[in-house]
Structure 1
């Protein structure tokens, strides 16, 4: 169906419908990147809001590898079903071949990086709950058959439903599906979050654990790891020689620092997601149900733990 105003009988108008007429896209733009735009949409059958991801295929005319990564992300999403991994509802190419569209769950509060920077005074318990859910998602990916290695885990690729605190891992465009050896060889990702062995192009799913440790560090300090570096080459040199981000020195709580260091250890010593879920770092959660998160209420001033070095 071509773009047009379609009355949704609810006071607003859709500007586009999917070929089946089930999903209607509003004008509201939720996010935009170099290749993809995400709009607020509505599922008429289930009566829920969703995210309409719209990609102009002409943008990939000179970048076939990026188009391959996009199709890979959607194909991977289609096979995954977990509360902490963004789910895919449907996908299609427009009738004129101009756009590639796919419908996913909606996270109205955006990515975790932006959410954390907006809310600078959260308790350490809240950060532990976010971290716990990320690990649940990683454990699912890493134990999936076949194993899925994200390879680009960072706070801007992790999303949150702010009203419930539910965390979901997304942006699987650089993910790799590996066989029973669990070994991959391509050097892909964001340098500040890449494990040393990823640069050497011989690694397994534990590279995601390294990136996860840096995500926890970012949630604590509200700053991007290695922001003291002036370029990618400097980041690379520090990572492969084992120099930690300066932000780690500003983490005061010994158990928190120990947990992050455990994630950043050598591959042979680095724990799996399942092992980290049993770490004493999460003891404070006291068996709370982190699969279906409850809203995180504001801590009383006398109980709030200072975790924001930048605030």
Structure 2
């Protein structure tokens, strides 16, 4: 039985479908309850949806209990939930910046904390979804890059702790993936420049379904590293070079972009991120200062 967080759309939804097609029962966790449950209902194996915020430890503990009660203990847990915000650090609302870190990094740790007892019982597999953002940090994406680098480091540390108990930990490195996060990719000056300066094969945007196939193969193999696309494995030895290369491209692009244009491009990327922010701010019924209104 598999648990996938951030499963309402994008890679999470596609991976849930792929694991179901492989015969696994799936528990889909996320913030968008209606979309989440529609996705669960369309799967071919018995599956459930559980609305939960990965930054809420109590909610995740309840979700873990519900999953075990309905489907049994998890043998696979995929920490996929993630959001992204773009724009200059100094102009990004502090609460929004922290929210990206909380969802992408703290949320991954909370997911592991909630489900490790089940994985220990099943000698299961925990897959942390990271990104090539961990290879080299791009300006205007400080929270996302920091969170993905942190998620990678967390998973590496966790691996050494839980392997004696028979639990395997994998890290998935995703490159350009066709989710709603990259819908406005060409409007983001640094990301546009980084992609433009990559070889043709590296500029390709892969569909969530294709990425889900690579991830499902990694799950089946209990792989320590999963690369999406597979050629990324050859980038690992070159990682010491990437920060300088990214900085060089970014510096050239930022110098050529008017400050007013950079200041105007601040906010969340994608429908999923906006849905999380709307749910997060619904507690007091207000938007935090500096955060754009919902689309």
Q: What interval of TM-score do these two structures reach, taking the shorter chain for normalisation? A: under 0.3
Structure-2-length-normalised TM-score: 0.26
Structure-1-length-normalised TM-score: 0.25
Higher normalized helix content (fraction of residues): 2
Higher normalized strand content (fraction of residues): 1
Instruction: Kindly name which structure, 1 or 2, has the bigger radius of gyration based on alpha carbons.
Output: 1
- Tell which has more relative contact order, 1 or 2 (C-alpha 8 A, sep 6+): 2
